[in-house]
A and B are shown apart, each in its own frame.
Chain A
Amino acid sequence: MKTCLIVDDSRVVRKVAARIVRDLRFEVMEAGDGAEAMRMCRENMPDAVLLDWNMPVMNGLDFLRSLRREEGGARPLVVFCSIENDAEHINEALRCGADEFIMKPFDADILESKFAEVGLV
C-alpha cells in the first residue's frame, strides 16, 4: 500500500483529507506542521505528501525546500494545498519542487484528479 503524509495545522482539514486519501487506498500519516512532517519523513519517506502552505513552526514552502534536499526526498510526489491561489504563489510552489497544486477548498473529486495528474492513482 502506498503511503501519504498529510501536513496541515488544521485537524479538521487533516481529517477530511485523510478520509479521501484512504478511500484512494493510501496508508495515511498526519503531521501538524512542517517540522513534525520533516521528522516523520526522515523516519519513513512517504510516497505522497499533501502539503498545506501556512503553518506555524515550519511552513509548507520551507518544509518542501528541506525535503527536496534530504536523502530520498526527491522521490515523494508533493501536492501543495493552499488558499493562496494566484499565479505567483503557484509558481513559487512549483519552483520549490511541488508536483501539483490544489487550491483550497477542495473535495474528493479534485483530490483524486490531482493525484491522477501526478500518477499516484
Chain B
Amino acid sequence: MQEEVFNELADLALKSSGQAIPKSKSYLIEARLAPIARREGFGSMADLVHCLKSRANPIFAAEIAAALVSKDTWFFRDRDCLQRIVEDVLPKRLKASNTGRLKVWCAGGSTGQEAYSLAILLADEMPPALRGAKIDILSTDICKVVTEKARIGRFGHYEVQRGLSIRRLIKHFTRLETGQWEISEDLRSRVSFRQHNLLESAGGLGKFDVILCRNVLPSMAKPARKRVVESLAEQMMPGAMLLLGSGENLIGITDKLEPARDFRGGWVAAGTANAEASAA
C-alpha cells in the first residue's frame, strides 16, 4: 500500500475511533476494507481513499472507520472473569446499593457475545444473592453493523462454536433455516444495544455499577485510551468497578482510577480501593 494511502486511512482510524494502526500492520487495513472495496467496485485502496476524500460523505467515512477496527470476540471470552462478576462483584454491588437494581455496561461489546455470555450466566447460574434483582445489561459499539447484528442475536456456525458449550447452545439458541442460530427471546430481552463512540461523552447512557471495557483499549493510541477511560470513569456510580481485559492495565494512563484490591483486572475510583476492601 502506498505511504500516503496508508497515512490517510491510519489518520482516519485515529481521529474517528482512537485506533493506532502501525505501518507494520497495513495488511490489516487491506483485509478489513476489502469487503467494502469489492462492494463499491474499487480496484485499489488508493481508489477507495480518493473516493473517501472527494465524496466527503460522513456516513461512508464512518463505515470505513468502523471497518478499520478489530471486532474479534467470542462467547465466554475469559470465563473466569465473567463468572466472578456474576458471583462476586454484582452481589457486592447489590448489597451496597439498596435499590434492587444493577446496571452493567459492555463498552466496545462488538457483536454481543460478551453481554450475552453475562446474560447466559445470569440465567443459568444466578447466585442466590442476586435473586429478585433487576439487572440491566447495555452493550455499545462504535460500529453500526455489529451493533445491529448483536441486537438481532443471530450467530453463524463458527461463532456459536467458539466458547459456547453444546448444552448451552441447544438450551438458549434455535437453529434457523438459514443455518444461523438465534439466541432466545428471553436472553435478548435482558440485553440492550446501542451504537456509541467511546471517544464521545457517555453522559446520555447514565451511570453503571460495573463497566466492562475488554480488549478495546490496547489497540488505541495513548491519548485516546486516556480519554476513553476518563469518560468511562465519569459513568461509574460511587463504588462501581471497571473491568479490563486480561493483561490490560491503566498504569500511566490515568490517575482517576486505581486497581481494586480484591479483583484482578478490576479498577475503582482513586482513593477508594482500601475502603472497599475493608468494607467487604
Binding site for B on A (CB under 8 A): 85-87, 90-91, 94, 100-103, 105-107, 109-110, 113-114, 117
Count class of interface residues, chain B: 10 to 19
Closest A-B pairs by Cβ, 3 of them: A101-B166, A110-B161, A117-B165
Bound: A94/B167 CA distance, A: 9
- In the complex where A85-B175, A103-B157 touch, is A90 in contact with B162 (Cβ < 8 A)? no
Bound: A39/B31 CA distance, A: 48
Q: Name the distance in Å between A79's Cβ and chain B's nearest Cβ.
A: 9
Which of B157, B158, B161 has a CB less than 8 Å from the CB of A114? B161
Question: A101-B166, A109-B162, A110-B158 known; 17 other A-B pairs, CB under 8 Å?
Answer: A85-B175, A86-B175, A87-B170, A90-B166, A90-B169, A94-B166, A105-B157, A109-B158, A110-B161, A110-B162, A113-B74, A113-B161, A113-B162, A114-B161, A114-B166, A117-B165, A117-B166
Which of B74, B161, B169, B175 has a CB less than 8 Å from the CB of A106? B161
* Residue B163 lies at the interface, judged by CB distance under 8 Å to chain A: yes
Closest to B157 in A: A103
Closest to B79 in A: A116
Q: Name the distance in Å between B63's Cβ and chain A's nearest Cβ.
A: 27
* Chain B residues whose C-beta falls within 8 Å of the C-beta of A109 in the assembled complex: 158, 162
* Chain B residues whose C-beta falls within 8 Å of the C-beta of A117 in the assembled complex: 165-166
* Chain B residues whose C-beta falls within 8 Å of the C-beta of A114 in the assembled complex: 161, 166
A86, A91, A103, A109 pick with most chain B CB within 10 angstroms: A103
Bound: A102/B157 CA distance, A: 10
Instruction: Report whether B170 and A91 are in contact in the complex, using a CB–CB cutoff of 8 Å.
Output: yes
* Chain B residues whose C-beta falls within 8 Å of the C-beta of A107 in the assembled complex: 158
A102, A106, A113, A114 pick with most chain B CB within 10 angstroms: A113
Q: Kindly identify, within residues 145 to 177 of chain B, every residue whose CB is under 8 Å from any CB belonging to chain A.
A: 157-158, 161-163, 165-167, 169-170, 175
Q: Name the distance in Å between B177's Cβ and chain A's nearest Cβ.
A: 11
Bound: A117/B165 CA distance, A: 6
* Chain A residues whose C-beta falls within 8 Å of the C-beta of B170 in the assembled complex: 87, 90-91
Q: Name the distance in Å between B103's Cβ and chain A's nearest Cβ.
A: 30
Give 1 or 0 for each of B57-95: 1 = CB within 8 Å of chain A CB. Answer: 000000000000000001000000000000000000000
- In the complex where A85-B175, A86-B175, A87-B175 touch, is A103 in contact with B167 (Cβ < 8 A)? no
Bound: A91/B167 CA distance, A: 9
Instruction: Report whether A113 and B163 are in contact in the complex, using a CB–CB cutoff of 8 Å.
Output: yes
* Chain B residues whose C-beta falls within 8 Å of the C-beta of A113 in the assembled complex: 74, 161-163
Bound: A69/B158 CA distance, A: 33
Bound: A54/B158 CA distance, A: 21
Q: Name the distance in Å between B9's Cβ and chain A's nearest Cβ.
A: 28
Bound: A90/B169 CA distance, A: 10
* Chain A residues whose C-beta falls within 8 Å of the C-beta of B166 in the assembled complex: 90, 94, 100-101, 114, 117
* Chain A residues whose C-beta falls within 8 Å of the C-beta of B169 in the assembled complex: 90
